[in-house]
Amino acid sequence: MTERESGANNLTGVWHGLYTYPQINKSVSFVATLIESGSSVSGSTHEPCEPGIAASGTLFAAIVGSRLDSAVAFVKTYESASPLYDQVEYDGRLSADGTEIAGRWIIRRVWSGSFLMIRSNGQAAERTRRVAARV
């Protein structure tokens, strides 16, 4: 079994991210759950949205893409959004230690910006659960 297959640098897991609109100096946080199988990447995201766009105040999207070594590319398709930005293309690089993906997003070759995703640390989450259980 290779290092990638064993999970050391496999993308499967929860990632916390931030994408930025440089034109209006605004950033939006999101959470992505990724599943990597072979060279395919799939998953979902959720993020806060502007009032009036989604009834719940949260936008949900599906992710489909691929990975080749450190290159990660995927398309995020929103469940319910304006036809002007229903799909967003992401193109990034996985860090050498497998904890970050950084790159650019593009909407219809008109809008673009940067993004950063950081892998959720399962050990930290487990410690938090144990501490909370003691309180």
CB 76 within 8 A of CB 87: yes
Tens-place pLDDT, residues 22-33? 888 889 999 999
- pLDDT band for position 125 (50/70/90)? very low
Angstrom CA distances, 17 to 39, 117, 135, stand at: 22, 4, 30
pLDDT tens for 75-106 read 999 887 655 567 999 999 999 999 999 999 99
pLDDT attached to residue 23:
80
Query: Taking 80 as the threshold, does the pLDDT of residue 62 lie above it?
Result: yes
Q: Which amino acid is at 75?
A: V
pLDDT at 61 over 50: yes
In the chain, the domains with their CATH numbers are 3-134 (2.40.128.120)
The predicted pLDDT at position 95 comes to: 95
* Spatial CB neighbours of 106, under 8 Å, sequence gap ≥ 6: 88, 89, 91, 112
Check residue 110 and give its pLDDT.
82
